[in-house]
Every structure is written in structure tokens, then in C-alpha cells.
Amino acid sequence: MVRGQANPHVARLRKHIGDVQLTTGDLLDQGSLISAVERVQPDEVYNLGAISYVPMSWQQAELTAEVTGMGVLRMLEAIRVVSGVGQSRTPGPGQIRFYQASSSEMFGMVRETPQNERTPFHPRSPYGVAKTYGHYITQNYRESYGMFAVSGILFNHESPRRGAEFVTRKVSLGVARIKLGLASELRMGNLEARRDWGFAGDYARAMRMMLAQDAPEDYVIGTGRTQSVRDLVELAFATVGLNWRDHVVQDPRFTRPAEVDLLCADPKKAREQLGWEPEVGFEELVAMMVESDLRLLSSSSRP
């Protein structure tokens, strides 16, 4: 689903995922979602739509609540209305299955480590708060109407397609620029923050597995390992034979009003019930992203 006219992301999407049919709709517009579900008659709906960059959520807190939080309610309502659930029908076999992209940012100031499906939430940004609403409304539609609606609580998942503002891609692009002589320094925020970083391709596989289960349940998806931003930076520079200390400059512009210090998944339920395991490790992921950006920048800087 795409929104707006002449959306510049559409060309990029086609390049990456080839021959897909796009339909229009906007998470801010209930009617457009009902029309989209009516038109497409989907078997499965994956709601990955969100304002997803945490610092932006302080600058546009209300819009984040509308898109990232209320957008989930609107998508669930569209499915409920089109399939007649809660009016004349209860959902049966062949009902539309719904996946909500919940987030480890809901754990925020963590109450226990590692975090599992029963760990209480304590979000630390308007983004985390909005995702928490989306999580609970998905659970509520499952319980209220018997809909097949599940949340995947995904920890940070990265790939060469990650937006340049997120820390992994910022670092892989920065390292590639410095290696190619296009820049000399990389300005960073909090180097002590720790995350459980995995490969997005592995996580997308987990999403599909969740919707293929007999029963709708929520799952935590992560690797169970944690690295600091410092580890990330050190490794990324080392892959091209550079020392991060020669190039990284700390800049308070990139620190946040409230920080999530540590995230680490306990993916036991996913492993045991879905049979899911991540295939790409942290080192391989970082190398993949740095190599991809080296190729990207050396082809675009050639005359």
C-alpha cells in the first residue's frame, strides 16, 4: 500500500521487490483503508507502516501517535468492517490474518533482561508509546472479536536498505565515505547504548511464520545478543582496515531527551514454537552493510 501522489519511494520499491501490485491507502484515512481491503481481498495484512525514527517522534509527537498508534486501529477496523466481523459474523476459517509490527522500543527502560513476551512495557519516546498502543489494540481485537491478529515484538533489524538516519546505516555509509576519501569524520551520539541487532531478512521470515500458525499469538524476535554502538563503530571501521578512534567525533546533537540504554531479546518462544533461528550474525551483517555502501558510493562517484 502506498500513499500520496507521485510518491518517490515507489520507484525504489519496484527496483528492490520487482513486480508487485501497489494499491493506494493512508493510515490516517479510515475510508481509504476500507477501500483498499475491499479491493485487494487479502489473505494476510502486514502493518509495517509507521513514523519509525525515534528522534522524529519528539518533533512530531501527535503525528506519530496518529500514524504509528491510531493507524493500527484503523487497519484493524478496515479488516473487521470488510469481513463483517462483530456485526453478523464471527471470524472463521479463511479470515484475513493480521500482523502488527510491534517494537522492542516498547520495553524502553527495561524491567528485566533479556526481554520476553511477558516483560512489562516502559516506553521512552512518543514512538515507543504509540507502538505500545498498537500492540494492545491488536491484542484487544483478537480478544474482542476472535480475529487472527498477532504482534511480532521485533528488536532492531537492519540491512543495506535501512534508512540513512538509523545508526547502523549511518555508520556503514560513514565508513564507506571515509574509506573512499569523500569524508574524514563521522559525528555520533551516545556510544554506550546497547542493542540486539539482527538482519531484516531473517526477521521478515519470522513474520510470515507467525501468520502461518494455527493459533494467533505474539512473539519476541531478536538474536539474544547485545552490542554497544561503540562495538558497531569499531567493527565497521575494522572491516575496511581503519581505526574508529581516528574518525569518530561525539556530537551532542545526536543524543536524545530520553534514551533506551539496553535492549536484548529472549527469543526462546519463537525458537521453540515457530522453529525460527536468525541466520545472519552481527559481524556478517555489519560487513554486508559496509560492502554494500562501498559499492553504492564508488558507482555513484564514478564519472
- Give phi and psi for 139, each to the nearest 5: -60, -40
54/290 with CB nearer ligand GDP: 54
- Bridge-partner residues for 101, per DSSP? 152
Q: In the bound complex, what is the minimum distance in angstroms from residue 55's beta carbon to ligand GDP? A: 7
**Mode of pairing for the β-strands spanning 227-228 and 194-195:** antiparallel
Q: Does 230 bind ligand GDP (CB under 6 A)?
A: no
- Bridge-partner residues for 248, per DSSP? 186
Helix (H, G, I), strand (E, B) or coil at 74: helix
CA 271, CA 279: separation in Å to the nearest integer?
12
Binds ligand GDP by CB under 6 A, chosen from 33, 51, 54, 101: 54
CA 71, CA 287: separation in Å to the nearest integer?
35
Candidates 145-153, 184-192, 211-219, 280-288 — which segment interacts with ligand GDP by CB under 6 A?
184-192
Q: Does 58 bind ligand GDP (CB under 6 A)?
A: no
Q: In the bound complex, what is the minimum distance in angstroms from residue 21's beta carbon to ligand GDP? A: 30
173/188 with CB nearer ligand GDP: 188
10/258 with CB nearer ligand GDP: 258
Q: Does 189 bind ligand GDP (CB under 6 A)?
A: yes
| Burial label, 43 (beta-carbon count in 10 A; 0-12, 13-18, 19+) | exposed
Alpha-carbon dihedral sign for residues 121, 124, 129, 134: negative
Binds ligand GDP by CB under 6 A, chosen from 57, 83, 156, 239: 156
Q: In the bound complex, what is the minimum distance in angstroms from residue 47's beta carbon to ligand GDP? A: 17
Helix (H, G, I), strand (E, B) or coil at 125: coil
Q: In the bound complex, what is the minimum distance in angstroms from residue 232's beta carbon to ligand GDP? A: 8
145/199 with CB nearer ligand GDP: 199
CA 170, CA 168: separation in Å to the nearest integer?
5
Candidates 69-77, 162-170, 203-211, 289-297 — which segment interacts with ligand GDP by CB under 6 A?
162-170
Q: Does 254 bind ligand GDP (CB under 6 A)?
A: yes
Q: Does 136 bind ligand GDP (CB under 6 A)?
A: no
Q: Which long-range contacts (CB under 8 A, 24 or more apart) does 254-257 make?
A: 254/187, 254/188, 254/189, 254/190, 255/189, 255/190, 256/54, 256/55, 256/58, 256/125, 256/189, 256/190, 257/58
Q: Which residues are catalytic?
A: 103, 105, 127
CA 222, CA 220: separation in Å to the nearest integer?
7
Q: In the bound complex, what is the minimum distance in angstroms from residue 233's beta carbon to ligand GDP? A: 9
125 within 8 A of 56, measured Cβ to Cβ: no
Q: In the bound complex, what is the minimum distance in angstroms from residue 138's beta carbon to ligand GDP? A: 20
Q: Which helix (H) or strand (E) holds 249?
A: strand 248-250
83/159 with CB nearer ligand GDP: 159
Q: Does 256 bind ligand GDP (CB under 6 A)?
A: yes
Q: Does 166 bind ligand GDP (CB under 6 A)?
A: yes
74/169 with CB nearer ligand GDP: 169
Candidates 163-171, 176-184, 264-272, 273-281 — which segment interacts with ligand GDP by CB under 6 A?
163-171
Q: Which three cell numbers stand for residue 23?
A: 494499491
Positions touching ligand GDP (CB under 6 A) are: 54, 105, 156, 165-167, 170, 188-190, 193, 195, 229, 254, 256, 259-260
